[in-house]
């Protein structure tokens, strides 16, 4: 009886040791994507819509004549669609971003570091308003920050 228990617990121990790395790898693979943690496309479109609604009429950004001209020419719903599909794709969602590249899109806008900072400030306010958790906020800000080099072209 004791031998049987010792044998079976030995087998269990070996199985545990051998099985553990596989189990951890499966756990890691099953981590929800940022897209899933944000709640999917519906909440993403709500946050993006609010963000565009505060960005487009912002006086500090529109003091730049190139930004002002473009925001009058380009419909806000179009920007909402493009930015939503970009965020969906960049966070691991099922969308495919089919808009233009960030360098090409913003090249004529002469966006300065202070205008970039203003955009980040407005983005943070919108994330806070929607109570996006701190970790997810950081990940979204890192995605936005990764485009800075292509978008900020003036001093």
Q: Are 110 and 64 in contact (CB under 8 A)?
A: yes
What's the 3-state SS for 73-96? HCCHHHHHHHHHHHHHHHCCCCCC
Provide, rounded to whole angstroms, the least separation between the CB of residue 82 and ligand HEM: 4
Binding residues with ligand HEM: total (CB under 6 A): 21
Does residue 100 belong to the site contacting ligand HEM (CB under 6 A)?
A: yes
Q: Does 141 bind ligand HEM (CB under 6 A)?
A: no
**One of 119, 126, 132, 140 touching ligand HEM (CB under 6 A):** 119
Closer of 24 and 78 to ligand HEM (Cβ): 78
Among 47, 48, 52, 83, binds ligand HEM (CB under 6 A): 83
CB 139 within 8 A of CB 122: no
- Work out the angle between the directed axes of helices 76-90 and 41-55 (0-180°, nearest 10): 130
Which DSSP letter does residue 152 get?
B
Closer Cβ to ligand HEM, 46 or 151, answer by number: 151
Q: x/- site string to ligand HEM, residues 30 to 69, per CB under 6 A? A: -------------------------------x-----x--
**For 40-72, b where at least 16 C-beta lie within 10 A, e where not — what string?**
ebeebbebbbbbbeebbebeebbebeebeebbe
What is the binding site for ligand HEM (CB under 6 A)?
61, 67, 70-71, 74, 79, 82-83, 86, 99-100, 105-106, 109, 111, 115-116, 119, 144, 147, 151
């Amino acid at each position: 009886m004791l031998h049987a228990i010792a044998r079976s617990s030995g087998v269990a121990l070996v199985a545990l040791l051998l099985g553990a790395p596989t189990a951890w790898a499966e756990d890691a693979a099953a981590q929800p994507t940022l897209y899933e943690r944000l709640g999917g496309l519906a909440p993403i479109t709500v946050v993006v819509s609010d963000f565009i609604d505060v960005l487009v009429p912002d006086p500090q950004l529109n003091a730049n004549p190139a930004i002002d001209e473009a925001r009058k020419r380009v419909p806000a719903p179009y920007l909402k669609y493009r930015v939503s599909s970009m965020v969906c794709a960049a966070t691991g969602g099922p969308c495919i971003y089919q808009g233009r590249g960030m360098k090409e899109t913003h090249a004529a806008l002469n966006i300065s570091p202070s205008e970039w900072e203003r955009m980040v400030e407005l983005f943070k306010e919108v994330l806070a308003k929607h109570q996006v958790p701190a970790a997810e906020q950081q990940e979204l800000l890192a995605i936005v920050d990764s485009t800075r080099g292509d978008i900020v072209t003036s001093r």
